[in-house]
């Protein structure tokens, strides 16, 4: 069945460092892909999404490109801030019931 | 802005109790979802609903039931709470109806502890 695999955390970076969180997927067809973020004590919020191959989603300095050939949707940010500390979830729209399927989440901690 | 609210942020119950978790959304969304979130396991779908009075099982429905009597409200019911149901419960909603998944909007979560 459809699935999402993202790099295990926790990831600890210094402020202004470059961030990459890897996400790969297995799916039939061409699902929409999402990154959600969960700040401490809160629910999930959509960070960005891409609906077709080669689309780039971007928001708040984060970017991810839908790569069909490598079945990947890696999240990147050029210069992280302390306020980016959160758990990041990669997800795809797919599965037998057409719902969102989430990765296990990657916890990011950014130190000043 | 879409708002999804959950009735409690923290809840402590005893084994065997019947537990109700309530979720309300204010954007007239057709779809509503209940997930549980556990460390190392990510989010797992318990139940979802594409319309009033309809429900579909997700990946881990055992031990849970749901109710959707009104479009804006989706309730998760633990018929007889057990310690392995201690978890964070997240409700979400989206527009689009069955087979379509637009962006899901999440509530703040209810952290349930079963003693």
Q: What is the pLDDT of residues B32-80, one digit of tens each?
A: 999 999 988 889 999 999 889 889 999 899 999 999 999 999 999 999 9
What is the number of other CB atoms lying within 10 angstroms of the CB of residue B54?
A: 10
Q: Is B72 exposed, middle or buried (0-12, 13-18, 19+ CB in 10 A)?
A: middle
Contacts of residue B54, defined as CB under 8 A and 6 or more positions apart, other chains included, come to: B68
Closest by Cβ to A98, choosing from B33, B101, B106:
B101
**A56: contact with B, CB 8 A cutoff:** no
> What are the structure tokens assigned to B33, written together?
């979802």
Per CB-CB distance under 8 Å, the chain A contacts of B103 are 34, 46, 49
Beta-carbon separation of B108 and A93 below 8 A? no
Cα dihedral: A79, A85, A89, A90 (round 10): 0
pLDDT digits over A16-50, tens only? 999 999 999 998 888 899 999 999 888 899 999 99
Cis peptide bond N-terminal to A14, omega within 30: no
């Amino acid at each position: 069945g459809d699935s999402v695999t993202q790099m295990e955390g926790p990831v600890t970076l210094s402020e202004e460092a470059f961030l990459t969180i890897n996400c790969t997927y297995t799916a039939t067809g061409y699902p929409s892909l999402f990154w959600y973020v969960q700040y401490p004590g809160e629910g999930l919020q959509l960070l960005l999404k891409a609906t077709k191959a080669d689309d780039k989603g971007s928001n708040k300095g984060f970017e991810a490109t839908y790569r069909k050939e490598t079945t990947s949707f890696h999240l990147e940010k050029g210069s992280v801030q302390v306020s980016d500390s959160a758990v990041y979830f990669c997800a795809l729209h797919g599965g037998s019931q057409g719902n969102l399927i989430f990765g296990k989440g990657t916890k990011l901690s950014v130190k000043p | 802005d879409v708002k999804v609210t959950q009735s409690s942020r923290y809840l402590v119950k005893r084994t065997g109790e019947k537990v109700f978790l309530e979720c309300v959304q204010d954007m007239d969304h057709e779809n509503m979802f209940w997930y549980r979130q556990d460390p190392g396991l990510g989010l797992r779908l318990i139940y979802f609903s594409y319309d009033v009075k309809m429900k579909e099982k997700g990946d881990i429905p055992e031990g849970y039931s749901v109710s959707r009597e009104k479009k804006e409200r989706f309730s998760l019911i633990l018929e007889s709470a057990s310690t392995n149901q201690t978890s964070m419960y997240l409700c979400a909603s989206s527009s689009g109806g069955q087979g379509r998944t637009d962006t899901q909007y999440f509530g703040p979560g209810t952290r349930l502890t079963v003693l």
